Amino acid sequence: MFTGLVEARGTVSGLVDNPPACRLEVDVGDEWATAASVGDSIAINGCCLTVVEIGEASLWFEAGPETLACTNLGELVPGAAVNLERPLAAGGRLGGHFVQGHVDGTASVVDVSGDQEWVTMWFEVAADLAPQLVPKGSVAVDGISLTVVDVAGTRFSVALIPHTLEVTTLGVRETGARVNIETDILAKYVQKLVGSGSIGEVVEGGSE
């Protein structure tokens, strides 16, 4: 479990095709590499991956075909920046929201507008994800915990403060870029219950 509070930015330093998967090397710096162990989970652009090898200042991961197809990790090239977050420690502070690291799909950046140092960014998502997004709700974009500002059909917007722009990849995202999206876990369960009619059954059963 993660919080969506990005701890650092890493740099892709190696890619090795291993069909149907891919091995990914990320330069994370000496401190992260020293503290890591094989088998650890780390969120890369919001996608939970397992450390399979450790270098002096880098970590290696393996991304399977489902991950490559459903996230933007398949588009990474050497030199690309990625957001990094380690799992929430038991008893740790939850400063963002509960993020599983299970990317639901991707979205495209459709508009970037600045207001002095602030930026409003609009994204377009697939139709099946749109119902899980509500104003003032939570969403993870490339692993970053953000609050939804507006929703219009299959589009939603977020307001980005200077700090977020400086320390995450959203500071370099432009129109047309593809980002990973994980909607609020509560929204998924509510949508499932509403769609199946289970909520009505629960209410009726509880009123007897």
* Residue whose structure tokens are 């995202």: 173
Residue 79 Ramachandran class (φ > 0 left, ψ -120 to 50 alpha, else beta): left
Give the separation between CA 178 and CA 199, rounded to whole angstroms: 35
pLDDT for 24-52, tens place per residue? 999 999 999 999 999 999 999 999 999 99
**Domain 8-85 matches domain 105-194 at the CATH topology level:** yes
The confidence score (pLDDT) of residue 145 equals: 97
Res 201 pLDDT > 90: no
Mean pLDDT of 126-155: 96
The confidence score (pLDDT) of residue 200 equals: 53
pLDDT for 66-120, tens place per residue? 999 999 999 999 999 999 999 988 777 778 888 999 999 999 999 999 888 899 9
Res 191 pLDDT > 90: no
Put simply, whether the predicted model's pTM sits higher than 0.85 gets the answer yes
The confidence score (pLDDT) of residue 193 equals: 79
Q: With bands split at pLDDT 50, 70 and 90, how would you rate the model's confidence at 185?
A: confident
Give the separation between CA 139 and CA 145, rounded to whole angstroms: 6
Q: How far does CA 89 lie from the centroid of its chain?
A: 18
What beta strand segments (E) does 66-203 contain?
A: 81-85, 105-115, 118-125, 138-141, 144-152, 155-160, 178-183
The confidence score (pLDDT) of residue 198 equals: 58
CATH number of 105-194: 2.40.30.20
> Are 82 and 167 in contact, with CB atoms under 8 Å apart?
no
Give the separation between CA 119 and CA 106, rounded to whole angstroms: 20
In the chain, what are the domain boundaries?
Answer: 8-85, 105-194
Mean pLDDT of 7-28: 95
Q: With bands split at pLDDT 50, 70 and 90, how would you rate the model's confidence at 22?
A: very high
Q: What is 8-85's CATH topology? A: Elongation Factor Tu (Ef-tu); domain 3 (2.40.30)
